[in-house]
Amino acid sequence: MSAKIVAGCLVGLALCVAHAASAQTLTAADLGYLQTTYGITRGSAVIAELTPNETRALHSAIDDLKTYPAGRDREVQSYLALVYGRECKRWARDHAGQQCSPSPLAAAEPGKAISDSVCAECHLFGTATAPSFHQLAMRRDWNAHKVSHALQHTPQMVPITLTQHQLDELALYINSLR
Ligand code: HEC
Protein backbone atom coordinates (compact mmCIF):
# COMPACT_ATOMS: atom_id res chain seq x y z
CA MET A 1 0.00 0.00 0.00
CA SER A 2 2.75 2.42 0.86
CA ALA A 3 4.45 1.54 -2.44
CA LYS A 4 1.23 2.48 -4.20
CA ILE A 5 1.15 5.88 -2.51
CA VAL A 6 4.78 6.56 -3.38
CA ALA A 7 4.15 5.62 -7.01
CA GLY A 8 1.07 7.86 -7.06
CA CYS A 9 3.06 10.75 -5.56
CA LEU A 10 5.84 10.35 -8.06
CA VAL A 11 3.45 10.40 -10.99
CA GLY A 12 1.59 13.33 -9.47
CA LEU A 13 4.79 15.20 -8.79
CA ALA A 14 6.11 14.63 -12.30
CA LEU A 15 2.87 15.96 -13.75
CA CYS A 16 2.89 18.82 -11.33
CA VAL A 17 6.48 19.83 -12.11
CA ALA A 18 5.93 19.47 -15.86
CA HIS A 19 2.84 21.60 -15.60
CA ALA A 20 4.50 24.33 -13.55
CA ALA A 21 7.48 24.50 -15.89
CA SER A 22 5.46 24.68 -19.08
CA ALA A 23 2.99 27.13 -17.59
CA GLN A 24 5.66 29.70 -16.80
CA THR A 25 6.87 30.19 -20.32
CA LEU A 26 4.97 31.00 -23.46
CA THR A 27 4.98 28.14 -25.96
CA ALA A 28 6.01 28.51 -29.60
CA ALA A 29 2.30 28.35 -30.49
CA ASP A 30 1.52 31.20 -28.03
CA LEU A 31 4.32 33.32 -29.50
CA GLY A 32 3.19 32.56 -33.04
CA TYR A 33 -0.31 33.78 -32.20
CA LEU A 34 1.01 36.92 -30.48
CA GLN A 35 3.28 37.69 -33.42
CA THR A 36 0.67 37.32 -36.15
CA THR A 37 -2.21 38.94 -34.29
CA TYR A 38 -0.49 41.76 -32.41
CA GLY A 39 3.05 41.97 -33.80
CA ILE A 40 4.34 41.03 -30.34
CA THR A 41 7.64 39.11 -30.15
CA ARG A 42 9.43 37.53 -27.22
CA GLY A 43 11.54 40.69 -26.87
CA SER A 44 8.53 43.07 -26.86
CA ALA A 45 8.31 45.01 -23.60
CA VAL A 46 4.83 43.75 -22.80
CA ILE A 47 6.18 40.16 -22.79
CA ALA A 48 9.58 40.90 -21.26
CA GLU A 49 7.96 42.70 -18.31
CA LEU A 50 5.43 39.97 -17.43
CA THR A 51 5.65 38.42 -13.96
CA PRO A 52 5.53 34.59 -13.80
CA ASN A 53 1.88 34.70 -12.72
CA GLU A 54 0.99 37.02 -15.58
CA THR A 55 2.83 34.76 -18.05
CA ARG A 56 0.85 31.79 -16.77
CA ALA A 57 -2.46 33.66 -17.12
CA LEU A 58 -1.57 34.88 -20.62
CA HIS A 59 -0.63 31.35 -21.68
CA SER A 60 -4.02 30.10 -20.41
CA ALA A 61 -5.89 32.88 -22.18
CA ILE A 62 -4.21 31.95 -25.48
CA ASP A 63 -4.28 28.19 -25.05
CA ASP A 64 -7.70 27.52 -23.54
CA LEU A 65 -9.64 29.22 -26.32
CA LYS A 66 -7.73 27.89 -29.34
CA THR A 67 -10.90 26.50 -30.87
CA TYR A 68 -12.87 29.71 -30.39
CA PRO A 69 -10.78 32.37 -32.19
CA ALA A 70 -13.11 35.37 -31.70
CA GLY A 71 -13.46 34.69 -27.98
CA ARG A 72 -9.73 34.09 -27.72
CA ASP A 73 -8.87 37.43 -29.36
CA ARG A 74 -11.19 39.33 -27.01
CA GLU A 75 -9.89 37.50 -23.95
CA VAL A 76 -6.23 38.01 -24.87
CA GLN A 77 -6.75 41.66 -25.88
CA SER A 78 -8.35 42.53 -22.59
CA TYR A 79 -5.73 40.59 -20.63
CA LEU A 80 -2.86 42.26 -22.52
CA ALA A 81 -4.46 45.68 -21.92
CA LEU A 82 -4.75 44.87 -18.21
CA VAL A 83 -1.12 43.72 -17.82
CA TYR A 84 0.15 46.61 -19.94
CA GLY A 85 -1.60 49.01 -17.56
CA ARG A 86 0.05 47.27 -14.60
CA GLU A 87 3.45 47.26 -16.32
CA CYS A 88 3.18 50.99 -17.01
CA LYS A 89 2.44 51.64 -13.34
CA ARG A 90 5.48 49.57 -12.29
CA TRP A 91 7.64 51.29 -14.91
CA ALA A 92 6.47 54.79 -13.95
CA ARG A 93 7.22 54.07 -10.30
CA ASP A 94 10.84 53.16 -11.11
CA HIS A 95 11.46 55.74 -13.89
CA ALA A 96 10.48 59.23 -12.85
CA GLY A 97 8.77 61.23 -15.59
CA GLN A 98 8.06 58.20 -17.85
CA GLN A 99 4.58 56.81 -18.29
CA CYS A 100 5.36 53.38 -19.75
CA SER A 101 8.44 51.52 -21.00
CA PRO A 102 9.92 53.19 -24.10
CA SER A 103 9.61 52.06 -27.71
CA PRO A 104 12.60 49.99 -28.87
CA LEU A 105 12.84 52.46 -31.77
CA ALA A 106 13.94 55.84 -30.37
CA ALA A 107 12.31 57.76 -33.24
CA ALA A 108 8.92 56.21 -32.39
CA GLU A 109 9.09 57.19 -28.73
CA PRO A 110 7.28 60.58 -28.94
CA GLY A 111 4.38 58.96 -30.81
CA LYS A 112 4.28 56.10 -28.33
CA ALA A 113 4.03 58.59 -25.46
CA ILE A 114 1.00 60.26 -27.10
CA SER A 115 -0.53 56.88 -27.81
CA ASP A 116 0.03 55.67 -24.25
CA SER A 117 -1.98 58.61 -22.97
CA VAL A 118 -4.80 58.76 -25.56
CA CYS A 119 -4.91 55.83 -27.99
CA ALA A 120 -3.40 52.71 -26.38
CA GLU A 121 -6.44 51.63 -24.39
CA CYS A 122 -8.27 50.92 -27.65
CA HIS A 123 -5.48 50.41 -30.19
CA LEU A 124 -2.36 48.91 -28.62
CA PHE A 125 -3.92 45.45 -28.71
CA GLY A 126 -7.30 46.36 -30.21
CA THR A 127 -10.76 45.76 -28.76
CA ALA A 128 -13.90 44.03 -30.04
CA THR A 129 -14.47 47.11 -32.25
CA ALA A 130 -11.08 48.84 -32.62
CA PRO A 131 -8.29 47.35 -34.76
CA SER A 132 -4.84 47.13 -33.15
CA PHE A 133 -2.17 49.55 -34.41
CA HIS A 134 -0.32 46.47 -35.67
CA GLN A 135 -3.33 45.56 -37.82
CA LEU A 136 -3.65 49.16 -39.02
CA ALA A 137 0.06 49.29 -39.88
CA MET A 138 -0.27 46.06 -41.88
CA ARG A 139 -3.15 47.61 -43.81
CA ARG A 140 -1.31 50.69 -45.11
CA ASP A 141 1.48 53.16 -44.56
CA TRP A 142 0.20 55.89 -42.22
CA ASN A 143 1.00 59.58 -42.42
CA ALA A 144 -0.25 62.63 -40.51
CA HIS A 145 -3.02 63.30 -43.00
CA LYS A 146 -4.45 59.77 -42.87
CA VAL A 147 -4.30 59.64 -39.06
CA SER A 148 -6.02 63.02 -38.84
CA HIS A 149 -8.69 61.92 -41.31
CA ALA A 150 -9.35 58.78 -39.25
CA LEU A 151 -9.63 60.77 -36.03
CA GLN A 152 -12.11 63.18 -37.58
CA HIS A 153 -14.24 60.62 -39.38
CA THR A 154 -14.46 57.69 -37.00
CA PRO A 155 -17.37 58.34 -34.65
CA GLN A 156 -16.25 55.66 -32.13
CA MET A 157 -13.11 57.65 -31.36
CA VAL A 158 -12.88 60.35 -28.76
CA PRO A 159 -12.76 63.77 -30.48
CA ILE A 160 -9.19 64.91 -30.01
CA THR A 161 -7.23 67.76 -31.57
CA LEU A 162 -3.56 67.15 -32.25
CA THR A 163 -0.92 69.35 -33.84
CA GLN A 164 0.57 68.48 -37.23
CA HIS A 165 3.76 67.49 -35.42
CA GLN A 166 1.93 65.13 -33.03
CA LEU A 167 0.12 63.54 -35.98
CA ASP A 168 3.48 62.94 -37.70
CA GLU A 169 4.80 61.34 -34.51
CA LEU A 170 1.74 59.11 -34.16
CA ALA A 171 1.95 57.99 -37.80
CA LEU A 172 5.63 57.08 -37.33
CA TYR A 173 4.79 55.12 -34.18
CA ILE A 174 1.89 53.24 -35.82
CA ASN A 175 4.12 52.33 -38.79
CA SER A 176 6.80 51.09 -36.36
CA LEU A 177 4.37 48.41 -35.10
CA ARG A 178 4.32 46.61 -38.44
C1 HEC B 1 -12.33 54.74 -27.19
C2 HEC B 1 -11.56 53.92 -28.11
C3 HEC B 1 -10.65 54.62 -29.08
C4 HEC B 1 -9.64 55.53 -28.82
C5 HEC B 1 -9.23 56.10 -27.47
C6 HEC B 1 -9.00 55.79 -30.08
N7 HEC B 1 -9.59 55.07 -31.07
FE8 HEC B 1 -9.00 54.94 -33.03
N9 HEC B 1 -10.58 53.71 -33.45
C10 HEC B 1 -11.49 53.23 -32.54
C11 HEC B 1 -12.43 52.35 -33.21
C12 HEC B 1 -13.59 51.61 -32.55
C13 HEC B 1 -12.04 52.32 -34.57
C14 HEC B 1 -12.68 51.50 -35.72
C15 HEC B 1 -13.80 52.22 -36.32
C16 HEC B 1 -14.36 51.48 -37.51
O17 HEC B 1 -13.74 50.55 -38.03
O18 HEC B 1 -15.44 51.88 -37.92
C19 HEC B 1 -10.86 53.17 -34.69
C20 HEC B 1 -10.18 53.40 -35.87
C21 HEC B 1 -8.96 54.07 -35.96
C22 HEC B 1 -8.15 54.18 -37.17
C23 HEC B 1 -8.47 53.49 -38.51
C24 HEC B 1 -9.43 54.23 -39.34
C25 HEC B 1 -9.50 53.55 -40.69
O26 HEC B 1 -9.23 54.21 -41.67
O27 HEC B 1 -9.81 52.35 -40.74
C28 HEC B 1 -7.06 54.93 -36.85
C29 HEC B 1 -5.89 55.32 -37.77
C30 HEC B 1 -7.18 55.31 -35.47
N31 HEC B 1 -8.34 54.77 -34.95
C32 HEC B 1 -6.26 56.08 -34.79
C33 HEC B 1 -6.38 56.47 -33.46
C34 HEC B 1 -5.42 57.31 -32.78
C35 HEC B 1 -4.15 57.86 -33.41
C36 HEC B 1 -5.89 57.49 -31.49
C37 HEC B 1 -5.26 58.33 -30.40
C38 HEC B 1 -5.01 59.70 -30.73
C39 HEC B 1 -7.14 56.73 -31.39
N40 HEC B 1 -7.41 56.15 -32.60
C41 HEC B 1 -7.91 56.64 -30.22
C42 HEC B 1 -11.51 53.50 -31.17
C43 HEC B 1 -10.62 54.35 -30.51
Ligand 1 atom, smallest distance to 129 CA: 12
Share of the chain above pLDDT 90, in %: 71
Q: Return the closest-CA partner of residue 146 out of 160, 136, 138.
A: 136
What pLDDT does 154 receive? 86
What pLDDT does 14 receive? 44
Ligand 1 atom, smallest distance to 154 CA: 15
Query: pLDDT of 24-82, one tens digit each?
Result: 689 999 999 999 999 998 888 899 889 999 999 999 999 999 899 989 999 999 999 99
Give all domains of the chain, ordered by start, each with its CATH number: 1-101 (no CATH), 104-178 (1.10.760.10)
What pLDDT does 60 receive? 94
Question: Is pLDDT above 60 for 161?
Answer: yes
CA distance 83 to 102: 16
Nearest residue (by CA) to ligand 1, atom 7, is: 157
CA distance 6 to 26: 32
What pLDDT does 24 receive? 67
What pLDDT does 105 receive? 92
Q: Return the closest-CA partner of residue 131 out of 112, 168, 157, 108.
A: 157
CA distance 164 to 95: 29
